[in-house]
Amino acid sequence: MTQLPSPRSRAIWVFLLFQALYGLTSSGNVFRVPDEFETYFQTEHLVDAGNLSVPQTLAIKQRKIRDGRVIGQEAVFFGTFGWDGKPYAPYGPLIAILAVPHHLAGRAIAGLAGVPRIPLPGGIAWLMVVGGVTMVASATAAALAVAGFYRAARSLGASDREALALSLLLGGATVLWNYGTSFFSEAFTAAAFIWAAVFLIEATDARLEAAAKRAVAVASILIFLAGLTKITALVFAPAFVIAALAEPRVSAPARVKTAAALTAAIVMAVAVHAAWNVTRFGDPFNIGYDWSETIPQLPARAFLLSDIPRGLAVLLASPGKSLVLWAPPLVLAAFGLPAFWRLHRGAAAGVITAAVVGLLVFAAYLFPDGGYSHGPRNLVPIVPLALLPGVEACATTRRRGLAVACGIAGLAIALTATSVSYLDDQNIGADLGRGARANYYERIEPAPGRPFNRYRLGYIPFAATFGDSGWWNAPVVGQGPDYFPLHLAQARRQLPDGHAIPLWLIGLIPAVWISLLCVSARALYRG
């Protein structure tokens, strides 16, 4: 009798498959918006100088535009100067630390390829190589999220075939793919949350009390780490507390202890963020955002209840940000939710809480769209969790046609988005003078404390990009089809120091990922 591979070994192959897919389609261009390039500069400066300030941003200048007129130049820095006079980005401290291994690999590859490091603002070739390899950290995080989902699905009783099918839908037919190819924090928080769910599910099923305690401890640490990656990720964290309290298969004292451990993790994450803010700015509530460019009447009002109806329209109905449109497999999960509620009450309560709280909070947020980005960026961390009820829908034969339809639709959107830089598609830098209406944002007269640039509900993804006949032969490095090897080829042709990038490196990158993709796909098929 042939012994089937264990769920753990299969999860490793699932991870390798999506690591290869996301690495192959990675943008490699971290120099688009501050959320990406300042995070990269945090990582770089942490390795160079041992701190998370971003002095590199002061050496790079861009045009300063006001009401349609160029009024000079300014540094690309977005953030706040600390009490020590150093510039700090308004992001959590952990993502830069998590990216250090990939950054060191990037430096090693640049060294082997003979690409010299020239000080800014002149040397760009080294940054292109090292930045692109550093960005693969997001691919690793997103692949971990898919592998974690596979483990969670198996722990909830799905067969290997069902768990693998759902994992393929999550990794290849939702917006998670796009966040595995950029350098935002959402892939990291998605991985932390789904693996926290894995350990809480396994704690529920553990036969030994000691094993259950260890699993709860690991889940608590993962939620703590998610909070350190991005403070707004903690919006979803109470859902885990609700899940623990609602689990009927666990005794009441054990439920309370688990909820207490998870709550402590949330409180600790908030406390560390407060200490981080005090260390930088001397104020626990100053997270470093400089809202002055977009909010005419400060202080900022981050959340406004009256904005919830429009925010829900953005997150659920707009073509550019609809959670359903950018993650069609969630339709399958919706059909499985009633059975999921009956069979897995605690997990279902957690999924529902995360989805409802996330939708309401981010609908009221300053930027429900998540800023310049593909799809509903703010909700990406819970996409793997929200797909878990699909375990029950996938077990029903009549839902297989729906699963195929969701997969085809999601694959088309995700694959198209990997080829198009959101920076090109959403007209970043377009004039938003009074009365202006750009492709992505429109200028409004806002309520006090709210931004003047409001997401335009009529924005159609990819329309502007594919309507540009020069897209395939973009004259600027970083534009055009959004893949790392192509950007390196651009840089080699167009940058003054681009000749230092060898052709063999440009060819080797996709060859490595395609080889790993084939090996892992073959292993999963044979299993």
For the residues 267-285, what does the mean pLDDT come to? 94
Q: Which amino acid is at 199?
A: F
pLDDT surpasses 70 at 396 = no
Band the pLDDT of 1: cuts 50, 70, 90.
very low
pLDDT surpasses 50 at 285 = yes
Q: Which residue has the higher pLDDT, 65 or 403?
A: 403
Tokens matching residue 205 = 């099923």
Please state, in angstroms and rounded to a whole number, the distance separating the CA atoms of residues 131 and 154: 36
* Best CA proximity match to 391, nearest among 154, 199, 197: 154
pLDDT surpasses 70 at 270 = yes
202-246 pLDDT per residue, tens: 998 877 788 899 999 999 999 999 999 999 999 999 999 999 999
Local structure of 451: helix, strand or coil: coil
Provide the 10 A C-beta neighbour count for residue 396: 13
Band the pLDDT of 443: cuts 50, 70, 90.
confident
Band the pLDDT of 356: cuts 50, 70, 90.
very high
Q: Please report, rounded to a whole number, the percentage of residues in the chain having pLDDT higher than 90.
A: 72
- What is the pTM for the complete model shown? 0.94
* Best CA proximity match to 221, nearest among 242, 237, 210: 237
pLDDT of residue 75: 74
Q: What is the DSSP letter of 501?
A: S
Give the E-state strand segments of 67-145 in sequence order. Answer: 69-75, 80-81, 87-88
Tokens matching residue 461 = 């993804």
Residue 454 sits at φ, ψ, to 5 deg, of -110, 135
Q: Which amino acid is at 119?
A: P
pLDDT of residue 2: 46
Please state, in angstroms and rounded to a whole number, the distance separating the CA atoms of residues 117 and 125: 8
pLDDT surpasses 60 at 60 = yes
Q: Are 31 and 127 in contact (CB under 8 A)?
A: yes
Q: Which amino acid is at 145?
A: A
Burial class (CB in 10 A: 0-12, 13-18, 19+), 176: buried
Please state, in angstroms and rounded to a whole number, the distance separating the CA atoms of residues 27 and 215: 36
What integer best gives the mean pLDDT of the chain?
90
467-525 pLDDT per residue, tens: 776 666 766 777 788 999 999 999 999 888 889 999 999 999 999 999 999 999 999 98
Tokens matching residue 321 = 């940000």
Tokens matching residue 418 = 């990997």
Beta bridge partners of 80: 88
Give the DSSP H or E segment for 63. strand 61-66
Number of alpha helices (DSSP H) and beta strands (DSSP E) in the chain: 22, 6
pLDDT of residue 393: 85
Tokens matching residue 242 = 């609700």
Please state, in angstroms and rounded to a whole number, the distance separating the CA atoms of residues 157 and 159: 6
